[in-house]
Structures are given as structure tokens and as C-alpha cells.
A = this chain, B = another copy of it.
Amino acid sequence: MTLKGRDIVNIGDLSLPEIDTILDTAKGMVKIARGEERSKILDGKILSSLFFEPSTRTRLSFESAMLRLGGGVITIAGQEGSSLIKGETLADTIRMADAFSDVVAIRHPREGAARLSATFSENPIINGGDGAGQHPTQTLLDLFTIREELGDIGDQHVTIVGDLRFGRTTHSLALALARMGTSMSFVAPKIIQMPEHIVNDVREMGVSVKITNDLKKEVDHSDVIYMTRIQKERFAEEEDYRKVAHAFKIDMDMLKDAKENMIIMHPLPRIDEIHPSVDPTPHAKYFIQAFNGVPTRMALLKLVLEGES
């Protein structure tokens, strides 16, 4: 079993040993990602960076990853992406990218688009997020960040906060953590709490989960606070939003009884879920986490193109 030639569509498609291989490989990429060492292992290879929906952070970190390994990039983004979606079938667009490059990173507004792309592509497809579907590279960089910062993943208590109902990032992360035996708390207003099927899946894996709306209590004993944005649009009345939103934000006051080594993560961009006064504290790891997108995606690009050795 090798990752060479594999499509990376869903974090659930990867076995735990495969995830380990990716994180180990990512570890070896950090110095190159920082520009401190030079690599040419993907010299001559081309990444198609297909962003049919804007996601600057994901796009740029894929492109940076490819360049850091000596490869080249061709890009579809912005308006051009939207009109392409209207102009021809996804199948034909993917076949084009397949003909012009060696690997495709795709972000698409439609759930299932990455899986569909994989059926039309001979080269590996890496899912950069498909609608309300999957976003496996986000989960991989989240796991990498926890492991880098805390040494292991299974022994931590991770509290996931925010829009847990619609936030695909949190579903993938919760399921991946559950497979590693990590206990969790889910903190959200009732209306956007974690869907029952995810909670059930997590519990079936023998992992303890707490469902709550009391952020402060969870901050005090957690090893990781994973923040996400709560979108106003989820609430029927802006009034309702304003009533609850404050209770799901992190500021200095919220942190006063936190464990010394507790880390705060966020997939970014943030609106106001984390107050900027928190940024200089040693808890704040969301900028490092964003950086970790580069070595993690370097690892994936290397592994699907060149294999493990």
C-alpha cells in the first residue's frame, strides 16, 4: 500500500498509519517550507490549482508548497473559475487539468465535486474543500499542529467551538480525533451544535464527548481549544445571534484559568472569535497552524507524486 498516485478526497479514506506517514513527512518539510533549506524533489512537475470558490489561504499554501519543492503551478481562480463552472462539465475541466499537469488541487462549491473529479482524472486529485463536504488537508494540518505543539494527539482533550452544525472542518476533525482516541468537548449554541450522527460516530469509537454551551468551563481543563467562526446568517434574527455570540469568543478574561500549555487553534480567517490581545500569548497557535498548511501540503504533494521513499 502506497500513497503514490492516490486521490486525497476524504480524511476517512486514509488509514491511521497513512496519516502518520503524512505527518512524519510533513515534519521533514518544515525547514524547506520556511525557506531555510532548498528542495528540488518535484522539479519539472506541475500542480493545477483549481479554485472554483475563493479560499486564498488554502490556494496560496498549496502553491507555496509546490514551489518550495521545485515544482511549477498553473492556476484557475476568481471570476475565471466561476465562468468555467458554467461553461463546461466538471469532467471536461478536470481532464484538461489532467492533461496539463501532474497533480490537481481542487476547491469547489459543490459537495462531492472532488470525488467526482477523481473518477475523471488519471493523476492524483487533492480535495481543497468541496462545499459542505470534505476538507482533508485542513484536518491533516490541524493534526500536525497538535502533534507538533503537544507531542501526541490521542492523550489530549480537544474542545471544538463555534458553528459545529455546518462547519465541515469540525466534522472531519472530530472524526479523525476520535479515531486517535482523543476525548472532546463540543461547545456551541444549541441551534448549531454538532450533528447527532457525528456525535454518535465519535461515541461508537469509544471516545468520551461532552456537549455543552459553557465555553469557560471547557477552556479551564482543555489541552486544545479549536475555535471556528459563527456566521450571523445561521440565525433567523440578528438579535438571536447577538445574544449568544459573545459567549463563544476567546479573550484574555476567558483564559485566566486555562492550563499553561493549552493551545488555541483556528482555521482562519477569523472575524472576532479571538480577540487580538490573545495573539501574543503562548496559547495562540493559529498563525503557526496556518504556516503548517505548507509542510503538510508539501508532504501530500510529495507522497502522491513520488511515494514514500
How many copies the complex holds: the figure is 3
Interface check A223, CB cutoff 8 A? no
How long is the Cα–Cα vector from A49 to B118 in the complex, in angstroms?
29
User: Closest approach, in angstroms, between the C-beta of A289 and any C-beta of chain B?
Assistant: 9
- Is A269 a contact partner of B92 (Cβ separation < 8 A)? yes
List residues 55-70 of chain A with CB under 8 A from any CB of chain B: 56-57, 60-61, 63-64, 67-68, 70
Interface segment, one of A80-88, A245-253, A255-263: A80-88
Interface check A54, CB cutoff 8 A? yes
Most buried by B among A97, A99, A271: A99
Count of residues in A whose CB is under 8 Å from the partner chain: 52
Contact of A101 (CB < 8 Å), options: B38, B64, B92, B270? B64
Which residue of chain B is the closest to A49 with respect to CB atoms? B74
User: Closest approach, in angstroms, between the C-beta of A52 and any C-beta of chain B?
Assistant: 11
- Is B54 a contact partner of A83 (Cβ separation < 8 A)? yes
How long is the Cα–Cα vector from A47 to B92 in the complex, in angstroms?
26
Given contacts A56-B84, A63-B74, 20 further A-B contacts (CB under 8 A): A35-B102, A39-B44, A46-B64, A56-B96, A60-B74, A61-B99, A64-B100, A64-B101, A67-B74, A78-B79, A87-B269, A88-B268, A88-B270, A91-B276, A92-B268, A96-B290, A99-B290, A99-B291, A99-B293, A99-B294
Chain A residues with a Cβ under 8 A of chain B: 32, 35, 37-39, 43-46, 48, 54, 56-57, 60-61, 63-64, 67-68, 70, 72-74, 76-80, 83-84, 87-89, 91-92, 95-97, 99-102, 268-271, 276, 287, 290-291, 293-294
